[in-house]
Amino acid sequence: MRAKTTLAQRLPADMEKKIVEFHRFVLRAQRRHDYQLGHTSDMDETPMRFELPATRTLEFMGNRTVPILSCGGDKQSFTVVLAVKGNG
């Protein structure tokens, strides 16, 4: 048995231009307001599930049901946050 392992997305054609524009915007704001690098942060967050039950398993042929054990946390989630300051 095989199952999908990754899902790829295409990046926008103008992504590099948008990154450069945003970088210039941040530098202008930093100069205009005299921000220190330590006062500038970048943060991203993503939801994660407490449990990711398998979608496939091995089972004997002919069985009418195929149980997959779960602790019931497949609908509950938490948020993972990654943040970095401008000065490292």
Please give the single-letter amino acid code of residue 44: D
Strand partners, 40: none
How confident is the model at residue 64, as a pLDDT?
Answer: 80
Taking only the tens of pLDDT, the chain with its 88 residues reads 556 667 778 888 999 999 999 999 988 998 999 988 888 888 999 988 887 766 777 777 787 877 777 777 667 889 999 999 988 7
Q: How many domains does the chain have?
A: 1
Could you tell me if residue 8 is inside a domain? no
Could you tell me if residue 5 is inside a domain? no
How confident is the model at residue 84, as a pLDDT?
Answer: 93
Could you tell me if residue 48 is inside a domain? yes
Please give the single-letter amino acid code of residue 28: R
Domain of residue 25 covers 14-85
How confident is the model at residue 10, as a pLDDT?
Answer: 85
Could you tell me if residue 6 is inside a domain? no
Positive or negative, the CA dihedral 23, 24, 27, 29 is: negative
